[in-house]
């Protein structure tokens, strides 16, 4: 692995300025040669990315290229896996997120997450939203909590559908509704960043459309990073786009994910610098 | 489609779908399962039948309450199981109070907190082995630690407290194993949902994992409790005494005691023929108490299940 450094690292992957791109708002995350290991296995390496405030950043790439693994670094969700280990630097507002002094619980309060499969708690719709704010001490009960629940459900574009049955079980909702509930649950603790791990992969096109509209709406207040297998989705919703791919190590017969190119979505889909990106976005590969 | 598979005709499809091809191995397996169920049911019915003849007669003649309220007597026609009921119910409470919290906490630690290393795997294997250790070994342990050992001052020696603690140690591995399995069965996505909104490990465990695992944990605890209460060997070793001096005062944790299984053991070994009916009546009472405890447990479990 150390002997064959890929050519891609030689030139700067991070496109700070792009003629066609949006103006550069504040940087929320900055990674420097970020790599993630599962035990001795290097899952993904050499990730250099800046995530900008109030933008939607999409991670695209074939299966197994480490998109989700990288995403789960951003709120230290990988901590839940015993053997996962992170190398390199991951700065959040200039703070090393993996510093010993950093409390992962506090990180996850500021950086919410929506998962691939809707995972509402087996509680009522109300309790699903109220769960986070209660633990965070934002509101314990009564009208203050009611307000947070309503506001979160409205942000998640779910309020009108559920306002008359807030005490019904969340498990009775449809898949698309459950996923919007999970988005509302993430927004209820007032995070700064929302990580979305293929949030639409289990949903039909109509539900997907609603969630994409929702993302467009909430990005004014939040910074969003989304992992998606759906290139049209990345092209539709994202401002910037990172393309990952896998590289086979013939000696150990393992695959390591790596970042190929990161730029504004316009550039990535119209005129990418790397041939592999072009092959992927035009459907010739992956 | 016709171009790629011209040999398939409607008649052939119909013949295929309607043709009955016997699933022999499937049928054999089904009957085998029925046979297994039959063996279990027949044993249970045989047990009840064998004790219900004379036993029921005895209970009818004496009156159930009279038999249950009478203390031990050397005359079989006057003897009763009152002290045994006190001992069994008291030790059940002790087992529940000790084994349930300890076992559930151990399971939470193993599943939610401890990392997967050689030590936790060793603990896991040892726990599984302990669940299979014969009850008499636990009796010896109880004798060495609770009756004559360092805790004699606390338990008062041969007491219902010693018996309850010994049975709790016996039930503990089963409670740990079933609780750990119940906790493991809680989907990881649920935990991630909790961590994702900034819950701490304890908050995730308390508000999401435990409520979801509780019905299965209760089931396991009930089974462990039923097994512990049915054991006679450890009771005999920690000094269950079947005599007119066998305690029988509610709340007297440190005095002489007896319990239903040791009463049954004792009476069944008495030579005189007329002890038979009393033994059988005692077995019926024991079965009824165990059944009652299981029912309470199942009702509790259903209650928590519905809350979800």
User: Which residues from chain A sit within 8 angstroms of residue B198, using beta carbons?
Assistant: 105-106, 108-110, 132, 135-136, 189
Task: Quick: pLDDT tens for A198-212.
Answer: 998 888 888 889 889
Region at A240 (left for phi over 0; alpha for psi -120 to 50; beta for the rest): beta
pLDDT of residue A23: 55
* Cα distance between residue B5 and residue B9, in whole Å: 9
Domain ranges of chain B: 87-262
pLDDT over 90 at B39, yes or no: yes
Q: Is B221 helix (H, G, I), strand (E, B) or coil?
A: helix
DSSP B2: T
| Complete DSSP assignment for B152-173 | HHHHTSSSHHHHHHHHHHHHHH
The ipTM estimated for the assembled molecules is: 0.85
pLDDT of residue B274: 78
Check CB contact of B58 with chain A, cutoff 8 Å: no
Check CB contact of B189 with chain A, cutoff 8 Å: yes
User: Which residues from chain B sit within 8 angstroms of residue A82, using beta carbons?
Assistant: 115-116
Cβ of A82 and B115 within 8 Å? yes
* Cα distance between residue A198 and residue B222, in whole Å: 42
Q: How does residue B183 score in pLDDT terms, banded at 50, 70 and 90?
A: very high
Task: Quick: pLDDT tens for A211-269.
Answer: 899 899 888 899 999 999 888 899 999 999 999 998 887 777 788 898 999 999 999 99
pLDDT of residue B305: 74
Q: How does residue B11 score in pLDDT terms, banded at 50, 70 and 90?
A: confident
pLDDT of residue A17: 43
Beta bridge partners of A14: A262
* Cα distance between residue B84 and residue A88, in whole Å: 68
pLDDT over 70 at B16, yes or no: yes
pLDDT over 80 at B104, yes or no: yes
Mean pLDDT of chain B: 87
* Cα distance between residue A109 and residue A37, in whole Å: 25
pLDDT of residue A59: 94
In chain B, count of helices (H) and strands (E)? 14, 0
Q: Which domains does chain A have, with CATH numbers?
A: 26-281 (3.40.50.300)
Contact (CB, 8 A) for B243 and B217: no
Question: Which of A135, A167, A179, A193 is most worth mutating to test chain B (most B CB atoms within 10 A of its CB)?
Answer: A135
Size of interface A-B (CB pairs under 8 A): 66
H or E segment and range at residue A87: strand A84-92
Q: Which of residues 210-229 of B touch A (CB under 8 A)?
A: 212
Residues in A lying within 8 Å of B, measured between beta carbons = 75, 77, 80, 82, 105-106, 108-110, 112-115, 117, 119-122, 131-132, 135-136, 182, 185-186, 188-189
What mean pLDDT is predicted for residues B55-74? Answer: 85
Of the candidates B262, B308, B307, B44, the one whose C-alpha atom is nearest the C-alpha of residue B136 is: B262
First to last CA, chain B: 50
Beta bridge partners of A240: A57, A264
B217 token code pair: 């944990």
Q: How does residue B3 score in pLDDT terms, banded at 50, 70 and 90?
A: low
Cα dihedral sign, B54-B56-B57-B59:
positive
Q: Which residues of B166-190 are buried (b: 16+ CB within 10 A; e: fewer)?
A: bbbbbbbbbbbbbbbebbeebeeeb
A64 token code pair: 């197994």
Cβ of B308 and A122 within 8 Å? yes
Cβ of B196 and A186 within 8 Å? yes
Q: Which residues of A239-249 are buried (b: 16+ CB within 10 A; e: fewer)?
A: bbbbbbbbbee
Apex CA A126: angle with CA A124 and CA A128, to 5°? 70
Check CB contact of B208 with chain A, cutoff 8 Å: yes
pLDDT of residue A285: 63
Q: How far is B120 from chain A (nearest CA, A)?
A: 13
A70 token code pair: 């990288």
Helix runs in A90-204, H state only: 104-110, 125-136, 142-155, 159-162, 175-188
> Helix B260-268 and helix B275-307: axis angle, to 10°?
160
Check CB contact of B307 with chain A, cutoff 8 Å: no
Q: How far is B121 from chain A (nearest CA, A)?
A: 15
Cβ of A131 and B192 within 8 Å? no
Pick the residue from chain B with its C-alpha nearest to A190.
B197
pLDDT over 50 at B1, yes or no: no
Cβ of B193 and A121 within 8 Å? yes
Pick the residue from chain A with its C-alpha nearest to B195.
A108
A71 token code pair: 């995403």
First to last CA, chain A: 23
Tell me the range of A105-119, B150-164, B266-280 where mean pLDDT is highest.
A105-119
Tell me the range of B1-15, B46-60, B98-112, B275-289 where mean pLDDT is highest.
B98-112
User: Which residues from chain B sit within 8 angstroms of residue A106, using beta carbons?
Assistant: 198
The CATH number corresponding to B87-262 among 3.40.50.150, 1.10.260.40, 3.40.50.1220, 1.10.3720.10 equals 1.10.3720.10
What mean pLDDT is predicted for residues B28-48? Answer: 93
pLDDT of residue B199: 93
Among A117, A135, A189, the residue with its CB nearest the CB of B189 is A117
Cβ of B212 and A122 within 8 Å? yes
* Cα distance between residue A220 and residue B289, in whole Å: 65
Q: List, in order, residues 6 or more apart from A242 with CB less than 8 Å away.
A: A49, A57, A58, A59, A60, A259, A261, A262
Check CB contact of B308 with chain A, cutoff 8 Å: yes
Q: How does residue B200 score in pLDDT terms, banded at 50, 70 and 90?
A: very high
* Cα distance between residue B214 and residue A28, in whole Å: 41
Cβ of B194 and A121 within 8 Å? yes
Question: Which of A38, A39, A105 is most worth mutating to test chain B (most B CB atoms within 10 A of its CB)?
Answer: A105
Of the candidates B170, B168, B159, the one whose C-alpha atom is nearest the C-alpha of residue B238 is: B159
Q: How does residue B172 score in pLDDT terms, banded at 50, 70 and 90?
A: very high
What mean pLDDT is predicted for residues B189-201? Answer: 93
pLDDT of residue A20: 41
For B139, phi then psi, to 5°, come to -60, -45
pLDDT of residue A91: 92
Low-confidence residues in chain A, pLDDT < 50: 1-22, 286
B247 token code pair: 């305690």
User: Which residues from chain B sit within 8 angstroms of residue A135, using beta carbons?
Assistant: 197-200, 203, 207
Of the candidates B110, B131, B291, B121, the one whose C-alpha atom is nearest the C-alpha of residue B213 is: B110
Cβ of B191 and A106 within 8 Å? no
If you search the block for the tokens 């970042």, which residue do you land on?
A: A259
Query: Taking the model in full, what pTM does it have?
Result: 0.82
* Cα distance between residue B101 and residue A114, in whole Å: 35
Q: How far is CA A201 from CA A97, A114, A211, A215, A238, in A?
A: 29, 12, 11, 15, 16
Contact (CB, 8 A) for B195 and B202: no
Contact (CB, 8 A) for B139 and B235: yes
């Amino acid at each position: 692995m150390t002997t064959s450094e890929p050519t891609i690292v030689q030139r700067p992957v991070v496109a700070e300025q792009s003629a066609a791109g949006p103006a550069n708002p504040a940087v929320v995350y900055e990674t420097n040669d970020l790599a993630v290991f599962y035990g001795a296995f290097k899952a993904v390496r050499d990730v250099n990315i800046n995530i900008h405030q109030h933008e939607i950043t999409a991670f695209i790439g074939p299966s197994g290229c480490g998109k989700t693994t990288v995403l789960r670094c951003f709120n230290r969700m990988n901590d839940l896996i015993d053997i996962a280990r992170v190398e390199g630097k991951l700065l959040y507002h200039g703070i090393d997120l993996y510093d010993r002094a950093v409390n992962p619980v506090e990180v996850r309060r500021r950086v919410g997450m929506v998962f691939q499969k809707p995972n509402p708690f087996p509680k009522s719709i109300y309790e699903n939203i109220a769960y986070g704010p209660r633990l965070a001490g934002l509101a314990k009960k009564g009208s203050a909590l009611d307000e947070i629940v309503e506001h979160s459900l409205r942000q998640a574009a779910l309020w009108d559908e559920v306002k008359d049955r807030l005490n019904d079980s969340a498990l009775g909702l449809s898949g698309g509704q459950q996923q919007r509930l999970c988005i509302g649950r993430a927004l209820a603790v007032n995070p700064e960043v929302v990580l979305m791990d293929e949030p639409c992969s289990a949903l039909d096109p109509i539900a997907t459309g609603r969630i994409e509209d929702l993302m467009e709406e909430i990005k004014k207040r939040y910074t969003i990073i989304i992992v998606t297998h759906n290139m049209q989705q990345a092209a539709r919703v994202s401002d910037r786009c990172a393309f990952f791919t896998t590289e086979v190590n013939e000696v150990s017969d393992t695959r390591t994910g790596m970042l190929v190119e990161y730029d504004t979505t316009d550039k990535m889909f119209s005129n990418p610098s790397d041939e592999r990106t072009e092959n992927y976005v035009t459907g010739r590969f992956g | 489609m016709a171009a790629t598979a011209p040999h398939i005709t409607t008649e052939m499809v119909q013949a295929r779908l309607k043709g009955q091809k016997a699933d022999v191995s499937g049928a054999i397996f089904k009957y085998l399962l029925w046979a297994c169920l039959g063996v279990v049911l027949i044993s249970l019915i045989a047990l009840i039948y064998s004790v219900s003849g004379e036993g029921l007669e005895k209970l009818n003649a004496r009156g159930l309450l009279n038999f249950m309220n009478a203390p031990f007597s050397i005359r079989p026609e006057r003897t009763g199981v009152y002290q045994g009921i006190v001992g069994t119910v008291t030790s059940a409470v002790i087992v529940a109070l000790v084994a349930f919290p300890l076992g559930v906490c151990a399971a939470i630690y193993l599943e939610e907190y401890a990392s997967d290393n050689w030590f936790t795997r060793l603990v896991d294997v040892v726990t599984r082995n302990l669940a299979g250790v014969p009850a008499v070994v636990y009796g010896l342990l109880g004798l060495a630690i609770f009756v004559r050992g360092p805790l004699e001052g606390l338990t008062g020696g041969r007491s219902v407290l010693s018996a309850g603690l010994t049975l709790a140690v016996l039930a503990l591995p089963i409670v740990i194993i079933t609780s750990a399995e119940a906790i493991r069965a809680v989907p990881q996505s649920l935990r991630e949902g909790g961590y994702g909104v900034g819950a701490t490990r304890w908050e995730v465990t308390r508000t999401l994992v435990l409520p979801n695992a509780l019905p299965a944990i209760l089931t396991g605890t009930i089974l462990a409790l039923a097994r512990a209460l049915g054991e006679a060997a450890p009771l005999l070793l920690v000094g269950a005494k079947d005599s007119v001096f066998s305690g029988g005062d509610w709340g007297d944790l440190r005095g002489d005691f007896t319990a239903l299984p040791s009463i049954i053991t004792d009476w069944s070994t008495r030579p005189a023929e007329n002890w038979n009916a009393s033994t059988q009546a005692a077995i019926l009472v024991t079965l009824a108490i165990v059944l009652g405890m299981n029912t309470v447990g199942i009702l509790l479990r259903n209650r928590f299940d519905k809350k979800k």
